[in-house]
Structure 1
Amino acid sequence: MIDRHALRQRVLAQLHEQGFSLQDGRLRWSGSVRNKAQLRAFHQLACQHQIERARKALERHEPQLLAHIANGAEIDPARIAPRLIEVQPQTSHEQLFRYARLHWSIPVSAGYGRRLRFLIWDDGHDRLMGILGLADPVFALGSRDAWIGWTTPQRRARLGNVMDAFVLGAVPPYTHLLGGKLAALAAASNEVRHAFERRYAQRITLIANRQTGPLALITTTSALGRSSIYNRLTFQGQRLFHSAGYTRGSGDFPFINGAYHDLLQLVAEESAATAKHIHWGTGFRNRREVVLKALGLLGLPRDLIYHGIAREVFVVPLASNTQAFLRGEEQQLQHYDRPFATLAAYWKQRWALPRAQRDPRYRSFVRESWRLWNPAP
């Protein structure tokens, strides 16, 4: 049995360690959402917990995984040749994807429900450039829903045509060559929506009880305040990422540290399962619900779920009539034609080569600095 008093004190201590204070039943963060260094420090505890949880599965493979990361000195920008690889379960690609996402500055989930994962690979150097992960979106997201113009019935009918990018970015040394923009371009590519259609288009959705159909929209949120990757990212004169507004500054990530396992155990011991469909499992619907139930059981205000750290929401329409389609006003999507090879060539000429000439710091990156665990003596 979980000791409620001890767990309550532990939760409060970890919130304090992350810079929160409790005022009038709400969390107040001492940092600034405009300060990226403070945001990274805020997420450090949860990130370290994720790394420790992954240690058993990945630590012994780290030398082989690191070998896929380039040293900056070996990169010839003219030879960079990006390729998009869809990650399949139970493969070395999946292992590399999991390892790479542990290096993000914010805790990255494994994604919910439907998932598509990709490696961005440099065939010119046989090294990993970046990763892209898509998963089911949340049911209600005010800024996204307002951008689409959804009513609740419309959202229920067409939410299956939306995916959320839960991780998107480059790994060093390609980060120094603006590889994050390539990862963002990849999200809008033909190859991503074709992968979705192969895997999910013919499936019957549990919410709407209809075939999903094609992918119409990708959403994502900025990780560290204002995004230098998504803002003003264009291709052939079209803006790809549109700012739809901001989140309400709520969520479970202040609790996904070492205490979450005990919160889940407490809720499992003292609350009934709430999954609404047999195919969704027999437990609880999501982490947010677990945290809310646990807060109540610990005698803490449920409003602690509101941490006040808002994120900018971006939408990536994949067709010229995405909004009308998602509202059910049109039945066929008029998809944009964006082959990944064309996007990659554009990125290389527009960003990578000019950056390499202006700023040679990418050459100083040493992959050993990316090591997560100290090698055994």
Structure 2
Amino acid sequence: MKKRAVVISAFTPEARLKRRIRGHLRKLGFEHGPDGTLAPPSSSKESIRALHFEQRRDGLKDHRVFVRAALPKLEAYFANGSEVDPEKIQPRLELVEAGTWQSDLFRLASLSWSVPVSYGFGRRLRYLVWDDNNGKLIGIIALGDPVYNLRVRDEVIGWTVKDRSKRLVNVLDAYVLGAVPPYNMILGGKLVACLVRTKEVRDDFARKYGNTRGIISKKKKRAQLALITTSSSLGRSSVYNRLKLGSQPYLTPIGYTQGWGHFHVPDSLFADLRDYLRKKRHGYWDGHKFGEGPNWRLRTIRAAFDALGIKPDWLKHGIGREVYICEFASNARKLLRGESKKAIYRGLKSVSEVGALARARWMVPRAQTRTEYKDWKREQFAALVSFRRSRNEEPTNTPAQIVRKRETITGS
């Protein structure tokens, strides 16, 4: 049966909300392709950062009170460039517990990302990466439950739907992964990414999740960490590509996502869409609880679009993320297909061993050729977690212009 078109009067709340959505997408630079889907203004990294601008601004506004309270207490944990000795960097992982000052430091560091980070869902392992040589923060890692449907991952594993349902418990996703200044200026991001595949992470996973009961399935699961996925928010990643130490690959590219998502719907607009569904007494307006999966926000937006008569294709933003896998176990794919029963962690190194290799392979050579990191002052970090306008900055700056200014600060 053919679906009836939704007709909305020009002066109703629905019409005003539709105009706001269209205006927001035009402001970001999206155009409508010939098939009705959205066409992004560009696939360059600068353009992608600019597309996330409003989402990031909304997030920083929401965290403004936290930043004002936490930054004076925690700023000392960020290094000056002069305090970093590349030849003596000694990484250490600290598992973060909720409600601690370490949790606040993790949150503060994550707010400096140019693309807003997720809070994760389900199982979570969050780490601060310390430099024990000077007691300063190198970066942060967060591992959580993976998305259920990820075509490129499932194809490379060779999963059936039944396989995935039974063995997804052996997979995590690195949803936060990176270094903070000044370590990011000397390829500290590569070090942090490699630290995901270490004995310490394996042991933490085994202690916390090796013998637990699924919240949704209620079944007891003997999970073995076999595979970690991650993706680059900016398309192809210069940090993750060719990530090998010796003969061991740490991250392997396997393809791109199809460009569906909701990053182009910022929190303020999402709140209006939820309010619209609430007034219509739609079930999705307040349906967010654990067990409904990570796509609740996507489904909520889709439901609001459907009620407004907007094509769901508007959720296809066209920005594909490059997906990478870290084969934690040497028999990861066989274990995930059910061809092996026990994960084999042959050749798995400790944090200190990986740190020594990454230091010699990337960080010391980069520090010798790119010495700008020495000029970094920890006081500059405040500019990364706020949108305070300088006296000389025009209020008409576009998102892309502000992003360029941010890159000048971080050297990224």
The aligned amino acid for 2:17 is: L
The aligned amino acid for 2:59 is: Q
Residues 80-91 of structure 1 aligned to structure 2 (within 5 Å): 80-91=89-100
- Give the Cα separation in 1 of the matches to 2:69 and 2:276: 32
Name the SS for the 1:85 alignment partner. strand
Residues 299-318 of structure 1 aligned to structure 2 (within 5 Å): 299-318=309-328
Name the SS for the 1:255 alignment partner. coil
Give a deviation string over 1:167-219, Cα, whole Å, max 9, x none.
10000000111100111111111111221111111112234834141111100
- Give the Cα separation in 2 of the matches to 1:127 and 1:60: 20
- Give the Cα separation in 1 of the matches to 2:65 and 2:288: 33
The aligned amino acid for 1:220 is: T
Contact 2:90/2:352 (CA < 8 Å) preserved in 1?
Answer: no
> Which one of the candidate residues 355, 366, 374 is aligned to 2:366?
355
Contact 2:277/2:285 (CA < 8 Å) preserved in 1?
Answer: no
- Give the Cα separation in 1 of the matches to 2:103 and 2:27: 33
Compute the TM-score of the two structures, normalised by the length of structure 2: 0.85
Contact 1:156/1:207 (CA < 8 Å) preserved in 2?
Answer: no
Tell me whether 1:226 sits opposite 2:236 in the alignment.
yes
> Which one of the candidate residues 29, 37, 41 is aligned to 1:26?
37
Deviation of 1:275 after TM superposition, in Å, equals 10
Name the SS for the 2:52 alignment partner. helix
Name the SS for the 2:195 alignment partner. helix
Contact 1:79/1:125 (CA < 8 Å) preserved in 2?
Answer: no
Superposition RMSD in Å? 2.3
Deviation of 1:155 after TM superposition, in Å, equals 0.2
Report what 1:344 is aligned to. Answer: 355
Report what 1:142 is aligned to. Answer: 151
Report what 1:118 is aligned to. Answer: 127
Report what 1:280 is aligned to. Answer: 291
Report what 2:405 is aligned to. Answer: none
Contact 2:67/2:108 (CA < 8 Å) preserved in 1?
Answer: yes
Deviation of 1:277 after TM superposition, in Å, equals 11
Report what 2:52 is aligned to. Answer: 43
Name the SS for the 1:292 alignment partner. helix
Tell me whether 1:195 sits opposite 2:204 in the alignment.
yes
Compute the TM-score of the two structures, normalised by the length of structure 1: 0.92
- Give the Cα separation in 2 of the matches to 1:308 and 1:126: 42
- Give the Cα separation in 2 of the matches to 1:64 and 1:285: 35
- Give the Cα separation in 1 of the matches to 2:288 and 2:269: 28
Contact 1:178/1:351 (CA < 8 Å) preserved in 2?
Answer: yes
Report what 1:293 is aligned to. Answer: 303
Report what 1:100 is aligned to. Answer: 109
Name the SS for the 2:259 alignment partner. coil
- Give the Cα separation in 2 of the matches to 1:265 and 1:280: 23
Range moving further from structure 2, 331-340 or 90-99: 331-340
- Give the Cα separation in 2 of the matches to 1:278 and 1:257: 18
**Structure 1: tracts of 5 or more residues without a match:** none
Contact 1:100/1:131 (CA < 8 Å) preserved in 2?
Answer: yes
Contact 1:87/1:93 (CA < 8 Å) preserved in 2?
Answer: yes
What percentage of aligned pairs have identical amino acids?
A: 39
The aligned amino acid for 1:272 is: G
Deviation of 1:99 after TM superposition, in Å, equals 0.9
Tell me whether 1:320 sits opposite 2:330 in the alignment.
yes
Contact 1:70/1:173 (CA < 8 Å) preserved in 2?
Answer: yes
- Give the Cα separation in 2 of the matches to 1:277 and 1:310: 26
- Give the Cα separation in 2 of the matches to 1:275 and 1:51: 23
Contact 1:222/1:312 (CA < 8 Å) preserved in 2?
Answer: yes
Range moving further from structure 2, 238-247 or 201-210: 201-210
Give a deviation string over 1:329-349, Cα, whole Å, max 9, x none.
111011142211100111111
Give a deviation string over 1:21-49, Cα, whole Å, max 9, x none.
23443111111x2x222221121111111
- Give the Cα separation in 2 of the matches to 1:284 and 1:92: 27
Contact 2:89/2:131 (CA < 8 Å) preserved in 1?
Answer: yes
- Give the Cα separation in 1 of the matches to 2:302 and 2:241: 34
Q: Report the structure number with the largest CA radius of gyration.
A: 2
Contact 2:128/2:139 (CA < 8 Å) preserved in 1?
Answer: yes
**Structure 2: tracts of 5 or more residues without a match:** 1-11, 390-412
Range moving further from structure 2, 286-295 or 4-13: 4-13
The aligned amino acid for 1:304 is: W
Q: Taking structure 1 as reference, are residues 75 and 260 closer, same or farther at Cα in structure 2, changes over 3 Å only?
A: same
Name the SS for the 2:373 alignment partner. helix
Deviation of 1:326 after TM superposition, in Å, equals 0.5
Deviation of 1:58 after TM superposition, in Å, equals 2.8
The aligned amino acid for 1:202 is: N
Deviation of 1:139 after TM superposition, in Å, equals 0.5
